[in-house]
Amino acid sequence: MKEITFSFGKNWKSYLNTVSEGSLSLTRKDILEWLPAEDIKGKRILDIGSGSGVHSLVFNELGARELVSFDYDPFSVEATTRSWSMAGKPVNWRVMHGSVLDKEFLAGLGPKFDIVYSWGVLHHTGSMWKAIENAATLVGPGGKLWIALYVKGPKYEDDLALKKRYNAASWAGKKWMEWKFISRHMQKRLFRGANPFKWNQKLPRGMNVYHDIVDWLGGLPYEVASAEEIRTFISGRGFEEQKSRLYPEGSNNIYLYVRK
């Protein structure tokens, strides 16, 4: 794992202060779009790179029999622990500090999982392909692997340079870069005839626009992959694609696989 220069966890802890039932409702709706409630209830679920813990929170609410959430960033572990506390500290839900690149840690997680979930995380480990492979090995027969990964494209080097500049900037420099992105959102809303001052909308993925901007600007390490590369890699490890959704560069492609 490369040295962390940006704390996703600090951003997630800040985001948790804004979470409402409306936020959780959007997260719940998104999860159920990909996984019917009957695919979650009574299942053993792993959340790799749990971040704020709101996705784990919803998995628990939807009846997961056993839930394991872990993250490499200690602040993300703290954020997920807050979500665990919000759920009433259920005994079927474990929150842990660990890395998807650490095979010894992964071996200690116990039996294979029915669902392995990792949204927008594996490309931030500094060793994306190893992270994907390790995540795939944790899925039991007939189980599902649900992941999202940044899209490969010609802007990669520019985006990587932007992230490096943000991480190297002073506090004021970071705020200036954030404001430039915010102003673009405001301008787009104005052109659409929407109120530009209501730019900080809640997003389906358990985030709002501001914290999503910070996540994007600060997100190092940063790797990308094409849909063809991911499909070849994962299908070669005994999986069959059940569903996918592909987006332009700068976004995450989403993949749902079933182990044969």
- CATH number of the CATH domain containing 111: 3.40.50.150
Structural contact between residues 9 and 76, judged by C-beta atoms closer than 8 angstroms: yes
Closest of 88, 160, 157 to residue 124, by C-alpha: 160
User: For residue 212, is it within any domain?
Assistant: yes
Q: In 3-state terms, what secondary structure has residue 48?
A: strand
**Residues 18 and 142 grouped into a single domain:** yes
Is residue 26 assigned to a domain? yes
Boundary residue ending a domain (218, 233, 248) = 218
Considering only CA atoms, give the Rg of the chain: 18
Whether residues 12 and 101 fall in one domain:
yes
Q: Tens of pLDDT along the chain (260 residues)?
A: 445 567 777 877 777 777 778 778 888 999 999 999 999 999 999 999 999 999 999 999 999 999 999 999 999 999 999 999 999 999 999 999 999 999 999 999 999 999 999 999 999 999 999 999 999 999 999 999 999 999 999 999 999 999 999 999 999 999 999 999 999 989 988 899 999 888 788 776 666 788 888 888 988 999 999 999 999 999 999 999 999 999 999 899 999 999 99
In this prediction the pTM is 0.89
Both 201 and 252 in a single domain? no
Rounded (10°) angle between helices 54-61 and 21-34? 70
Question: Which pLDDT belongs to residue 152?
Answer: 96
Q: Tell me if 1 is assigned to some domain.
A: no
- Domain membership of residue 3 (yes or no) is no
The answer to whether residue 65 sits within a structural domain is yes
**Inside any domain, residue 172:** yes
Count of Cβ atoms closer than 10 Å to residue 28 Cβ: 21
* Residue 36 and residue 97 in one domain: yes
The answer to whether residues 163 and 44 belong to one domain is no
- Tokens 């990587």 belong to 160
Residues 24 and 70 in one domain: yes
> Does residue 80 share a domain with residue 20?
yes
With 0-12 CB in 10 A as exposed, 13-18 as middle and 19+ as buried, what is 226?
middle
Is residue 178 included in any domain, yes or no?
A: yes
Same domain, 25 and 91: yes
Residue 9: the pLDDT is 73
The reply to whether 194 and 240 lie within a common domain is: no
* Sign, Cα dihedral of 166, 167, 169, 175: positive
Do 131 and 240 fall into the same domain? yes
Q: Give a yes or no: residue 45 inside a domain.
A: yes
- Distance in angstroms (rounded) separating the CA atoms of residues 99 and 94: 15
211 and 118, same domain (yes or no): no
Q: Look at residue 1 in the predicted model and tell me its pLDDT.
A: 44
* Count of structural domains, the chain: 2
| Claim to verify: residue 38 and residue 69 sit in the same structural domain | yes
**Which of 203, 218, 233 is a domain's end point?**
218
Dig out the tokens for 101 from the structure: 């690149």
111 lies in which domain range?
8-152+223-259
